[in-house]
Structure 1
Amino acid sequence: MSVVNKVGNLAQKLLDQITGAEKPKLYYDPKGDLKDVLTQLPQLQQKYRPTPWLSNHHAHLLYFDLIKKKSVKLKYDHTEQLTMQDGGITAITWYGYDLPKDTPTIVLMHTITGTPDSMRELVRDLNAYTGWRIALCLRRGHAGLPMPIPQMSVFGSTHDLREQLSVIQNHFPQSDLYAVGSSAGTGVLVRYLGEEGGNAPFKASFAMCPGYDTEKGFENVHPFYSKMMTKKLFKAFIYPYQNTWKSVESVQQVLATKNLQEFQNSYFEMAGYVDYASYNQAVNPIYVFENVKIPLMVLNSEDDPVCSIKNFEPYKQTVQGMPNIVVVTTKKGSHCGFYEGIQTKSWASRLIADYFKAFNK
């Protein structure tokens, strides 16, 4: 080895130590259904090296939320508003709609206050890496959708998702479906997968930065982000729809909450339930998690200040006994960022795409 190579290797090792670059950890059943798929993902055998100036999890998250989201340019094909059976409004925002009808479709479930604009980077990346169609499923009240019915849910509704999937399948009956949930979107994804079991229409699914047990997950959110995100919920779902919420007495109590845990404990009536216990039983994905039957890859960062890695701890053994699930954890990556390289490209988007393509051969 030349002197130049030795110096380069030493410099890389030093940079890796400083930035926290490590190989991902995998939690799965080594005799399970995903063992062959994992051999097709060399990315998981290499170090995830975060962008050096984003190795701090707060810097990484703020860059993702305040800079990267706003810098990505993407023109969607169109947004299709849907009226649910109870009169509520959801929508599907399409990208790659006019691709051949048998092109696979990635069904994307967005973040806690997600909009087409905030999801542009992930939509762009998944389309670029796969060449597939993207169907972004908007939940009630997101992106300024009309809210004629006083009902919304932070984690979404599997009833609404079923209606959205029916529309997608009617448009493209020949298209194989894949599913991605991002942050809060993992709640409705995993809840749906558990409710449907082997009947879920997806060939494979991916949950990025889930909180696992939604009853307890908000307890571990960093206080700054919990307070900030609670205010964002007010601005997105309550203030613009004050006429809609007039008949819901608990709204003022919800507006008095200071963090996400308080918000969730108080807003059950806004989600359509008579008490918190009923809401939690109907929405929490952890109650049906062990009934997920299709392939599911989960990605968490150990330095995530929003969906803490602590939330995964109670389920490590369970996951390693399930043949169709693998949980990938990285030392760095913050919340939904996972940026690498000078150009701050998403390591996670590349992983999602390669994982899905392994099922499309």
Structure 2
Amino acid sequence: MNLVIKDISDYLQNKLQNTLDQITGAEQPTVYYNVQSHSQQILSRLPQLNQKYRPTPWLSNPHLHLIYFDLIKKRTIRLKYDRVDQLKMSDGGVTAIAWYGLDLPTDTPTIVLMHTITGSPESMRELVKDLNAYTGWRIALCLRRGHAGLPMPVAKMNLFGSTDDLREQIAYIQNKFPQSDLYGVGSSAGTGLLVRYLGEEGENTPLKAAFALCPGYNTETGFGNVHPFYSKMMTKKLFTKFIKPYTQTWQQTASLSKVLQAKNLLEFEQAYFEMAGYQDYESYTQATNPIYVFENVKIPLMILNAEDDPVCHIKNFEPYKEVIRQMPNIVVVTTKKGSHCGFYEGLSTRSWATRLMADYLKNLQS
């Protein structure tokens, strides 16, 4: 009798779970990779990829998910960075590194973290805290020019960051912790900087492996696929963060008036090239678009996109599926749900994505 009751209970629980999965869009992730490569060995050690990603039920709508991620969850995270070091770049510009885990043993691995389009130490606290909790590693959040209210003595900024600046930041990290293995993580716009850097460096990068969370792939077309509401809202945020506080910095910038006329991210990105230090849009994109050097990435790299992402649309990934299937070191994971950088699961709204990136990087630890 007890076995019959248990069987009925299990049946009802499975039925309920399947119904909930259908309502919330829970599905097993899809994985794209070269089946002839060594990636299969790594994937076999990541059980998450063989299970359904079940979004937090009330966050299965991508817009609710993004609102919760950006306006609610970020404000609940309590984390105090150990220190923020301002760095003077070779051209006189200023970047910074926000540290978490400075007291860890000197040979503890360090995650070099590249933030979002308007990222700051405050906005990145959740990812910093969770990565440290899941890995036990040190986090070095690399702040780009103009972010977090940094002084801007040189009239130069970049939505995706500068690989030259990143090299100087990585050299600073290496000098401070020469015994620490380095791993890279990019979030949203930070993935553009991460992948561009990896493609330029090829086998010469000190990073052992990397993870790109919600990339837009081709920066020349990706902004055109952003949901109009978010595109307009984020453009206004760019004015607030990087233009208005630095009016003295930009007073000699001839294209400033055109930049201020931008109504969306695509218009902003096509107009601001002078602010990034380039004479025209073509030279800017040739020097910064990660897609031009993507096939030269040599270290293991996992990429995660959600099919319902309203900011970095899944259609950005379509042109590169076959290329990725031929590359021996790249794995792309897509989920049906997850929105933009959230990927919350369970009642506690913990990030499914951060757990995956931590497990991936730990499995590649040398």
TM bucket, shorter chain:
over 0.9
SS of 2:219's partner is coil
Deviation at 1:175, TM superposition (A): 0.3
The answer to whether the aligner puts 1:18 opposite 2:17 as a matched pair is no
For residue 40 of structure 1, what is the aligned residue in structure 2?
45
CA distance in 1, matches of 2:328, 2:37: 4
**Aligned with 1:251 (options 256, 260, 269):** 256
| Matched AA of 2:242 | F
Residue 110 of structure 1 is matched in structure 2 by: 115
TM-score computed with the length of structure 2 as normaliser: 0.98
The one-character-per-residue Cα deviations of 1:66-119 (angstroms, maximum 9, x if unpaired) are: 001111000000000000000000000000011100000000000000000000
Q: Does 1:288 align with 2:289?
A: no
What's the secondary structure of 1:246's corresponding residue? coil
Separation in structure 1 between the aligned mates of residue 177 and residue 209 of structure 2, nearest angstrom: 17
Q: What is the distance in 2 between the residues matched to 1:144 and 1:303?
A: 32
Name the amino acid aligned to 1:284: N
Tell me the residue number matched to 2:3: none
Query: Is 2:88 the partner of 1:78?
Result: no
1:1-361 equivalent positions in 2, closer than 5 A: 2-360=7-365
Cα distance in structure 1, aligned partners of 2:215 and 2:134: 23
Q: Distance in 2 between matches of 1:18 and 1:287?
A: 40
| C-alpha separation in 2, matches of 1:34 and 1:98 | 34
Task: Give ranges in structure 1 of 5+ residues lacking alignment.
Answer: none
Q: Secondary structure at the match of 1:320?
A: helix
Q: Give the match's secondary structure for 2:111.
A: strand
Question: Deviations along 1:262-316, whole A, 9 cap, x unmatched?
Answer: 0000000000000000000000000000000000000000000000000000000
Which runs of 5 or more structure 2 residues have no equivalent in the other structure?
1-5
Percent identity over paired residues: 71
> Aligned partners of 1:32, 1:234: CA distance in 2, in Å?
45
How far apart are the structure 1 equivalents of 2:243 and 2:259?
Answer: 9
- Mapped to 1, the partners of 2:231 and 2:94 lie a distance apart of 27
Give the Å deviation of 1:56. Answer: 0.2
State the secondary structure of the residue aligned to 2:186: strand
Q: For 1:140, what is the secondary structure of its paired residue?
A: coil
Q: Deviations over 1:140-175 (max 9, x none)?
A: 000000000000000000000000000000000100
Alignment partners' CA distance in 1, 2:40 and 2:10: 35
Query: Partner of 1:316: helix, strand, or coil?
Result: helix
Judge which range, 303-312 or 32-41, deviates more: 32-41
When the two structures are superposed, what TM-score results if normalisation uses the length of structure 1? 0.99
CA RMSD for the aligned pairs?
0.6
Q: Secondary structure at the match of 2:87?
A: strand
Alignment partner of 1:159: what SS?
Answer: helix
CA distance in 1, matches of 2:37, 2:47: 19
